[in-house]
Amino acid sequence: MYRITTFDGRSSCSKPIGLLTSMLRLEGNKSTFAHAFSICVVIYIIYSDISRLRTSTKLEMCFIFSNSLSLVAMLLWFLRLRSKKVEYIELIDTFENQTRFNLDNSQVYQHFTSIRKCFSFMVIIILLLYTFANIYTPIMIFRKSNDYVQLGQSLLLGLLSSICILCFQIYNQFLVESCLHIHACWFIVNEQIRLLNSTDSRLLSINQVREVRSMYSIAAVITEKMDSFLRIPIFNFFSFFILSSISVIAQVCYEPTLFGCVSLLWRLLKLTLITYNMIYAHYLSHKCFDDVYSLSHKTRSITSNNEVQLFLDRISQSDIGFSFLKISLITPTFVTSWTSTTLTIVLSLPSLL
């Protein structure tokens, strides 16, 4: 389950899956068509949002404007993505190629399966919700007007809207899958550190410590490169979420509806899942410190102890994880600050509008 076949014919569960990741592996005309289709969908969403400006309230206009800016950023990133696909594929294969360790083990498989199931459940729920909304409204209008042409147009626009919603979920899936690959790297690093910690101190060699320290450095470099690669998507995700959530929360507070409440709940679940995966990468990288510190009390030889101390210095001086534009690491504190900012703006909306 959730396994893909790599270029060398091996079955793997640790490689990122999803439509966007598959697009990066396409070549020739298939790659051109896939990227052109994605760009056309984004352009259509921007056009449909702008066309709603004339009949929108001030709050809705703010939401549409922020949504359009987010989509423009996404479009620019899509335009660059095709030229950087080789970089992403090489980044995914770097850890296994340099360490000669297989990322597929039972812990990785269980972790990946649980996260992927949660994400798939969220996508199915939101697609069913939006599909129901896109079908229910035209049918209710048709019962009053009996206009088949208008019904057909409404259903077609509803179908396009559902496709657009699905494209956003593919974009989010790419973020989640990229985070999961970083988790797999750190799972292996932590496992090797625990094996060092369980080794008899009399049998512990300096080469063993150096090998694991080198593995830690490789995982840290891969995490930093992945953070750089996802800089725009991460910025786009948090910025769009904050601005769009302000509109949704305001509507739920001042004009509550069932669809609005469900939409708000879904946004919170999506934020929780994606943010958790970003924070968890930082947690796994920092988790190494405790086991290495415990190892420092077991080493007897001076050379081995020096290597362990170098390892501790390497960990303590590193802030590894995903960041917001390389300004702030995405940690629970970061999320708390953004949540407080969002709620403050929502509460001040009546005086702003």
For 208-246, the pLDDT digits (tens) are: 888 888 899 899 999 999 999 998 888 888 877 777 777
Residue 252 has pLDDT above 50, yes or no: yes
pTM: 0.85
Mean pLDDT of 25-48: 73
The model's pLDDT over 55-113, given as tens digits with 9 standing for 90+, comes to 666 666 777 777 777 777 777 787 777 778 888 888 888 888 888 888 888 888 889 98
Q: What's the half-sphere exposure (Cβ side, CA atoms, 13 Å) at 345?
A: 15
User: What percentage of the chain exceeds 70 in pLDDT?
Assistant: 89
Residue 5 has pLDDT above 50, yes or no: no
Residue 8: per-residue pLDDT: 43
**C-alpha dihedral sign at 50, 53, 59, 65:** positive
Q: Which of 58-67, 84-93, 160-169, 266-275 has the lowest mean pLDDT?
A: 58-67
Average pLDDT, the chain: 79
